[in-house]
Amino acid sequence: MFAIRSPLDKVCTIEDLQVLARKRVPKMFYEYVDSGSWTEGTYQQNEQDFKKVFFRQRVGIDVSQRNTSSFMAQTKVTMPVALAPVGLTGMQYGDGEILAAQAAEAFGVPFTLSSLSICSIEDVAEQTEQPFWFQLYVFKDREFTQQLLKRAKLAGCKTLVVTLDLPVMGQRHKDVKNQLSAPPKVSISSLIQFLNHPRWCFNMMRSSHRTFGNIVGHARGVNSLSSLAKWTSEQLDATLTWKDLQWVRDEWDGFLILKGILDVEDLYQAASIGAQAVVISNHGGRQLDGAPTTISVLPEIISAANNQTDIYMDGGVRSGQDVLKAIALGAKGVFIGRAFIYGLGAAGGAGVTHALEIIHKEMLTTMALLGESKVSGIGLHNLRLP
């Protein structure tokens, strides 16, 4: 008898998931993910710089009982890895946000819903049991922003991630060439792309969510797809300052994380308005091309934080080894963006679970070779620093 094999059986790494996602997701949506701003220099370097960090191997230590559990935002997690907010996740696979949130919940790691998600806050809350995290863009329409906060609270969210590195939109050339827009324009070229991906089409047709669920029908004057396109292009707020973030702090009584910090001065500002944590992030190399890589600035920000603010990081994390390098340098946790999105594009919820399993297994094996049994034991002593 031959057993029916799943295409995931041969997937050993996040890169394998990426290869599968490239086959299964229409080009315009695949490239929306696999792209950075302008030269893509920062995007590519984020991954490369992890390779400059080396581990210190230890032997002769009992590592038979290893455990990756930890805490993020005062909640116990199976491993210190949260799913990052990714706009348009539901265009990678029908109902993408719901499937990813369910996979994260079953695994015991946080899922962060983007303001610019396809499935809405309420859609995700209805299909999950545990509170998920909500990511906020402070839109020009402050009344709508305030409503988003209320909806997130009502849905049971206790952790808010406010993203600061988008006063204007960085340009990804691939999106321009693919004519990616929100909502996607239907052209002959896009129709051909969709029809060449029947599995993707089938899953999209099965879903009732195909536009920005948090916005349509909620933001003033946005009731149709054409008014949505205008609204999203107008709502990024280039006037945003720390005063506005103090307003958000006052509006949100839960755990507050500020995302998009790369500079010590901004860490101090974040701490002064009462943020409990920050995410060192360059938006996965999608905003300021030429910005430093996140793993390279991590040590100076950890040192400046002086244990007063929790430091998380994201950008270029593609393995359990990358997670451990960030933890060893002092991060309390990492966020993964593309790593789980490739899983989703490759195989829906099962693909997200597979991505988490790959990272988890890589962490357990690496911990054994470092001579460590617990995440709390990992530190600078596990690295060979220049």
Ligand X SMILES: Cc1cc2nc3c(=O)[nH]c(=O)nc-3n(C[C@H](O)[C@H](O)[C@H](O)COP(=O)(O)O)c2cc1C
Residues recognised as catalytic: 283
The radius of gyration computed from the CA coordinates of the chain, to the nearest angstrom, equals: 20
What is the rounded distance in angstroms from the CA atom of residue 48 to the CA atom of residue 32?
20
Give buried/exposed letters for 24-40 (b at 16+ CB in 10 A, else e). bbbbbbbbbbbbbbbeb
DSSP letters along 221-234, please? T--SHHHHHHHHHH
Q: By the 8 A CB rule, do 260 and 284 touch?
A: no
The binding track of 24-43 with respect to ligand X, each residue x by CB under 6 A or -, is --------xx----------
The binder of ligand X chosen from 94, 131, 183, 316 (CB under 6 A): 316
Residue 259 binds ligand X (CB under 6 A):
yes
Stretch that binds ligand X, among 15-23, 123-131, 276-284, 377-385 (CB under 6 A): 276-284
Task: Count the residues of the shown chain that bind ligand X, applying the rule CB under 6 A.
Answer: 25
Residue 86 binds ligand X (CB under 6 A):
yes
Q: How far is the CB of 217 from ligand X (least distance, A)?
A: 19
Closest to ligand X by CB, 197 or 372: 197
Q: How far is the CB of 206 from ligand X (least distance, A)?
A: 22
Q: Tell how strand 112-113 and strand 133-136 pair up.
A: parallel
The binder of ligand X chosen from 68, 70, 163, 178 (CB under 6 A): 163
Q: How far is the CB of 371 from ligand X (least distance, A)?
A: 28
The answer to whether 114 is a known ligand-binding residue is yes
Q: By the 8 A CB rule, do 162 and 248 touch?
A: yes
**Which residue is nearest to ligand X, using beta carbons?**
337
Q: Tell how strand 75-77 and strand 70-72 pair up.
A: antiparallel
The answer to whether 338 is a known ligand-binding residue is yes
- φ, ψ dihedrals at 22, nearest 5°: -60, -35
Site for ligand X in 331-360 (CB under 6 A): 335-339
Helix (H, G, I), strand (E, B) or coil at 373: coil
Q: Tell how strand 333-336 and strand 310-314 pair up.
A: parallel
Binding site, residues?
A: 32, 85-87, 114, 135, 137, 163, 172, 259, 281, 283, 286, 314-318, 337-338
User: Which residues are at the interface with ligand X (CB under 6 A)?
Assistant: 32-33, 46, 84-87, 114, 116, 135, 163, 259, 281, 283-284, 286, 314-317, 335-339
